[in-house]
Structure 1
């Protein structure tokens, strides 16, 4: 495995360390601070894994479920909703423990395929102007190449630094054709699967997610179409295609709903 791919997992999210060896994606590169509380669906995940702590992103899809990446799994996960400055105890924040995490049963650490996970919260979130859910796409819907979507997170803002910002960052990214993530045997995208993944981010623009952003949503319009998953240190990055997993998401939430 190449060093570039090893570094990639770290980038998409601090939790990326939990990923299989391969590429990663994580922080927001080339973006700016989001307007406070303009993305009320955003979740900040604090993950305890053995003796280490990592962070990931996620997004609220109902009062008691957060969607994130399967590689963000740990021994204990705490979710912060309604946050902007994660280093401060804001009045808007809700801190909720995760009752159970349900990674997709076919998630592969080796290929990053099916990198999606539902988190059932210990208690229901209180929906208000700071905390709200985001809509999911219809099953099998595809976003057209060239569409401009956005990503947000508290992950690193530079591939040269491990430090993470206190305040939520955001950036616009372009959905690419699948061919922009070519499956060459020795290339960084050799595990790309167009049925379960999306290729996102124009390499000419240099805007991307990075370490610590893993699990956050790719928002197109008002819909969460992707989940930050993996990729090399430069765009395009690879996102889990949410529409492929709508039947699994709906069935899992119905099964666990009290």
Structure 2
């Protein structure tokens, strides 16, 4: 199916309603169901905003902190950890309210840039075989183009159907690309990274908005924005390590 190259922010995926015209949510296209609890760092975010309910992805980086995209902000956010099937009450699940949302101070000053947010949980998560944290990269450590990474999420599984949403965690492998593969308007190579598989078209290099781009055992990116086909654009985590560390240190009790 021919798809336009109009750029979009991976705005939130509505739970019970269609997206406004001209927007697109995160999705796993051409992927497969993840092995049960193989990604114990994954977080499912249910977001209340102006009376509507949306979803995003996120990932646990400390017992009381989840990283996600800044555009996943809301009036109220509930985090579900240890989930595989988000429509069932699995014994592995922990449901925790977000106490505070901390958007990067420079988010919104430039279109699509600095798309990162720390969520401080109202109570600490209990780490176990179903719920674990994921490593973050060293400051300014870049992933070399050509490396195979992966994304995961509970978003749509059919690009053109807003109602085809996954109930179980989906995943797909993508390749980190040269920055010039994502030289869309507003692309910033210092704060963003490019990944996808334009030839195979397996997904648009997007999990749910806010989910992690994982290379090996480390989260290197956050699902952010892109066109209606791969490659997609991710927040480059290595650029924001000082901000993440300082924010978490300041907010720890």
TM-score (norm 1): 0.90
In the TM superposition, what whole-angstrom CA distance separates every residue of 1:22-45 from its partner, at most 9, and x where no partner exists? 875511111000001000000000
Q: Which residue of 1 aligns with 2:159?
A: 159
Q: Which residue of 1 aligns with 2:177?
A: 176
Aligned positions of 1:30-179 closer than 5 A? 30-108=30-108, 111-163=111-163, 164-179=165-180
Structure 2: how far apart are the matches of 1:106 and 1:32? 36
Q: Which residue of 1 aligns with 2:246?
A: 251
Structure 1: how far apart are the matches of 2:82 and 2:214? 17
Structure 2: how far apart are the matches of 1:243 and 1:151? 17
Change (3 A) 1:221 1:211: closer
Q: CA deviation at 1:178?
A: 0.3
Structure 1: how far apart are the matches of 2:24 and 2:142? 23
Structure in which a larger fraction of residues adopt strand: 2
Structure 2: how far apart are the matches of 1:22 and 1:5? 8
Structure 2: how far apart are the matches of 1:95 and 1:9? 27
Worse-superposed segment, 240-249 or 211-220? 211-220
Structure 2: how far apart are the matches of 1:83 and 1:209? 23
Moved over 2 A (4+): 3-6, 21-25, 207-212
Q: CA deviation at 1:51?
A: 1.3
In the TM superposition, what whole-angstrom CA distance separates every residue of 1:221-255 from its partner, at most 9, and x where no partner exists? 00000000001110000000000000000000000
Contact 2:205–2:230 at 8 Å: present in 1 too?
no
Q: CA deviation at 1:9?
A: 3.0
Structure 1: how far apart are the matches of 2:123 and 2:106? 27
Change (3 A) 1:132 1:150: same
In the TM superposition, what whole-angstrom CA distance separates every residue of 1:55-111 from its partner, at most 9, and x where no partner exists? 000000000000000000000000000000000000000000000000100012761
Q: Which residue of 2 aligns with 1:14?
A: 13
Aligned residues: 245
From 219, 222, 236, give the equivalent of 1:224.
219
Structure 1: how far apart are the matches of 2:142 and 2:48? 35
User: CA-atom RMSD, angstroms?
Assistant: 2.2
SS for the counterpart of 1:5 is coil
Alignment gaps of 5+ in structure 1: 183-188
SS for the counterpart of 1:150 is strand
Contact 2:69–2:117 at 8 Å: present in 1 too?
yes
Alignment gaps of 5+ in structure 2: none
Q: CA deviation at 1:169?
A: 0.1
Q: Which residue of 2 aligns with 1:186?
A: none
SS for the counterpart of 1:225 is strand
Q: Which residue of 1 aligns with 2:237?
A: 242
